Structure 1
Amino acid sequence: MDATEIKSLIEEQGRAFEAFKAEHNAALADVKKGTEDVVRTDKVERINTAVSDLQAALDEQAAKLAALQTSGAQTEADKPVNAAYNAAFDKFFREGDERELRAAIKSAPKADLNIGTPAEGGYFAPVEWDRTVVDALKIVSAMRGIATVQQVSSNAFTKVYNDRDTASGWVGETAARPKTGHPELASETFTLGEIYANPAATQRILDDSLINIETWLSNEVQTEFAYQEGVAFVSGDGTNKPRGLLDYQSAGDHPFGAIPTVKSGAAAALKLEGLVDLVYDLPSERTPNARFTMNRKTQGAIRKIKDGNGNFIWQPGLQAGQPANVLGFPVTELAAMQDVAAGNIPIIFGDFSGYLVLDRLGVRVLRDPFTNKPFVQFYTTKRVGGGVVDPTVFRYHKIEA
């Protein structure tokens, strides 16, 4: 999508939002008169959905742009030096011939971290294939665009915390200096789980077609990986998967305690006052990088809320790469977030660099021509972890029962 098309999409969303505001105001006026029009109410919901669809399309383009800016176009200097491994891996993919691949592994530079041969016959994809999958995940996995992403070389990552309990005091020039309190250290370990996809192709297609293995593999696995990650980053319990944002509701869940909760102030509904309380409960030093996360249903509900001057608190982005905002803060859509309902947490507000995504370097592929003849299955795995580094930079918005 070029700049002209993106501009057209922004303009179309602006027109749709203006139509939504007009119809919603008319519907509210009907309610006040006691003459509610079902047809108009249905029209409001249809326009609301259209605005959401247009915003989702704009968010997708913004994510693609951000991914390109982060990874950059591949130059000759970026291309992997071990061309022999790439060619041998392609032959293994198509024909199942491991001989050249094993020879390439033996002669590979020791610094090439993506090359390995597990006993069960799986091989790590070439470096540029791994980049392709990771770059695709940046586009379709929204959390990767707002969280801190770090590559690790082991199965766990441990962070040490200082409880900030150092004491001090005022004294005179010759007064005694009694011993003061000292900080205690605690640690939090983030473990990695394994995420997988199992795409398949017939041997005839692999033999006869000019299939681009790299493109095919990344397209097959990215959607499944992104879906599984998206759920885990929000609600995962940390067992063989990342620990999600919603799993920090108890004091003992982290050395710094639970993520604080701000209630909505309304039974089974969102309320302007509750959202304002949510924003102002976060420390001011964290608000410059703060944002809202919610699913599209919640975004649709917020789109109907006005401030005291009759202005809608949800506003669309006005240029390419700029997300929609609520009360002046950007909004990121996370499909796995809870809906607006009594007792649920449909919104998390805060600085999402406080969530850590861990990637174990390397996408591994196991070629399986036996399980499902005449298909050849490519059991593809990647190890991923995640968790909250600092719960004090987030706020839950909980709907009252």
Structure 2
Amino acid sequence: MSQWNDGVPRIGASLKEEARAPETKSGEGHASAHEVREAMDEFLSSFEEFKSANDERLGELERKLTADVIAEEKVERINRALDQQKKKLDELTLAAQRPDLGGRAECGHAEREHKRAFEGYVRKGEAQELRGLEAKALSMQSDPDGGYLVPAETERMIERIVSEVSPIRAIAGLRRIGAQSYKKPFSTGGAQTGWVGETEARPQTATPSLAEIEFPAMELYAMPAATPTLLDDAAVNIDQWLAEEVQTAFVEQEGAAFVNGDGVKKPRGFLDYDRVADGAWEWGKLGFIATGNEGGFPTSNPGDKLIDLVYAVKSGYRTNGRFVMNRTTQAAIRKFKDTEGNYLWQPALAAGQPPTLLNYPVTEAEDMPSVSADAPAVAFGDFRRGYLIVDRVGVRVLRDPYSAKPYVLFYTTKRVGGGVQNFEAIKFLQFSS
């Protein structure tokens, strides 16, 4: 349970040990279910204390018509502590859900053969067997100068880890392709339809007018390094080591590109598209609702703007709608109440589930802008239908024992693209007048 000292919350061991990796009882890199439950209970308890402190602050504000400095500081400290606790809880939950990469998944003879040859290449640089296998498979994606395809099992490990950690990848639509790009046609005019009587003549319908949008797959790379000692150690699982080494680089680069990417040598992020006031919305642009206050929420009933944002999205997209914002913006919204005194933001009731805002899930994406003048700091919509991520099949590795001797570098690449595929499905709350 949280304890208080001079108005400052002490949120248990999770804050005291924030710099340390979570202890593991079920194996290295894994958190136990008990740890997750404890962290979840502590977080929910702290949120109740936050509500109590914030209610006290609002009461003082109503009585004195001015903010009490001590009360304001107390609420902000608890708010920051909640953010830190939530981050810790997310890390523990992810560690608990992570698969045991040390195990050997069942696979066919061809996969086992490829896996054995790939391990020989990574550990010792022996490429002859691997080259022969990929030539036999007539792989068009393999190039000795650009590296060799990792085994299918290793690719699945990398994809699973990246998908669990990357916030936008977890909620967006996904297509796997074998070509350089993905092209999607869409109707700009559409065929005419209507109602007719049983014996009435059927008027000729217009020919649909079609256009297409293209999502090229761009190259993303990471370059983990290993010592010869690590590679010679038979106890080290090479698949696990490679997957965990590249995940941070892949997740950080992807996360930034899916939000802010300009489409040049990287995916195009949804914030890179033109934005217009929702009343003037047209295909190819994303609509926004203005807060009416430059660089902030309205001073009275700020939650009403969030409701306006939700209902700016058509009902067909609201069903699977969710909010996307960064942690700072979420901390500000956490204080909002409705007219009946209920908090609009609510914590998840179970570990691994997102918090909710107006009963819609909230996705934290740290690459989203914070609240500032003209910033689209809050997004809402059906991201699975609105934003598309394109993955080209295959992750390649090129072994380089020369550039950084005595270390061995592994130039690891994958191809990924992305962009908005449905401009009706996503709207923004823009902090402008």
Superposition TM-score, scaled by structure 2 size: 0.82
| Per-residue deviation, residues 222-280 of structure 1 (Å, max 9, x unmatched) | 011000000001111112111111122258xx993312111123331132121110011
Residue 335 (structure 1) aligned to one of 343, 350, 366: 366
Post-superposition shift, 1:185?
A: 0.5
1:269 aligned onto 2:299? no
AA at the equivalent of 1:363? V
AA at the equivalent of 1:83? R
Post-superposition shift, 1:87?
A: 1.6
Residue 319 (structure 1) aligned to one of 343, 347, 350: 350
Residue 147 (structure 1) aligned to one of 172, 186, 189: 172
Tell me whether 287-296 or 119-128 shows the greater mean CA deviation: 119-128
1:48 aligned onto 2:79? yes
Q: Which residue of 1 aligns with 2:221?
A: 196
Residue 381 (structure 1) aligned to one of 413, 416, 430: 413
Residue 126 (structure 2) aligned to one of 97, 114, 123: 97
Aligned length, in residue pairs: 393
Q: Which residue of 2 aligns with 1:85?
A: 114
CA contact (8 A) 2:118 2:150 kept: yes
Q: Which residue of 1 aligns with 2:182?
A: 157
Q: Which residue of 2 aligns with 1:123?
A: 148
Percent of aligned pairs sharing the same letter = 41
Post-superposition shift, 1:139?
A: 1.4
CA contact (8 A) 2:255 2:367 kept: yes
User: Do the aligned partners of residues 79 and 149 (structure 1) sit closer, same or farther apart at CA in structure 2, a change above 3 Å counting?
Assistant: farther
Q: Which residue of 2 aligns with 1:14?
A: 44
Alignment of 1:2-401 (within 5 A): 2-32=32-62, 33=64, 36-60=67-91, 77-78=106-107, 81-107=110-136, 109=137, 117-120=142-145, 122-168=147-193, 179-208=204-233, 210-249=235-274, 256-270=283-297, 271-354=302-385, 355-401=387-433
Tell me whether 218-227 or 96-105 shows the greater mean CA deviation: 96-105
User: Do the aligned partners of residues 331 and 98 (structure 1) sit closer, same or farther apart at CA in structure 2, a change above 3 Å counting?
Assistant: same
User: Do the aligned partners of residues 173 and 221 (structure 1) sit closer, same or farther apart at CA in structure 2, a change above 3 Å counting?
Assistant: closer
CA contact (8 A) 1:65 1:321 kept: no
Distance between the aligned counterparts of 1:168 and 1:105, measured in 2? 52
CA contact (8 A) 1:265 1:273 kept: no
Post-superposition shift, 1:168?
A: 4.8
Gaps of 5+ in 2: 1-30
Distance between the aligned counterparts of 2:214 and 2:168, measured in 1? 20
| Per-residue deviation, residues 62-107 of structure 1 (Å, max 9, x unmatched) | 6678887xx9998854466332222221121122122232233345
Post-superposition shift, 1:301?
A: 0.6
Could you say what secondary structure the match of 1:289 adopts?
A: coil
Tell me whether 185-194 or 237-246 shows the greater mean CA deviation: 237-246
Distance between the aligned counterparts of 1:315 and 1:198, measured in 2? 40
Post-superposition shift, 1:170?
A: 6.5
Could you say what secondary structure the match of 1:52 adopts?
A: helix
Two-structure CA RMSD over aligned residues (Å):
2.9
Post-superposition shift, 1:179?
A: 4.8
Post-superposition shift, 1:3?
A: 3.6
Tell me whether 354-363 or 35-44 shows the greater mean CA deviation: 35-44
CA contact (8 A) 1:294 1:347 kept: yes
User: Do the aligned partners of residues 201 and 267 (structure 1) sit closer, same or farther apart at CA in structure 2, a change above 3 Å counting?
Assistant: same
Could you say what secondary structure the match of 2:293 adopts?
A: strand
Q: RCO higher in 1 or 2 (8 Å CA, sep ≥ 6)? A: 1
Distance between the aligned counterparts of 1:342 and 1:350, measured in 2? 22
Superposition TM-score, scaled by structure 1 size: 0.88
Post-superposition shift, 1:335?
A: 0.9
Post-superposition shift, 1:295?
A: 0.4
Post-superposition shift, 1:8?
A: 2.4
Post-superposition shift, 1:297?
A: 0.3
User: Do the aligned partners of residues 175 and 38 (structure 1) sit closer, same or farther apart at CA in structure 2, a change above 3 Å counting?
Assistant: closer
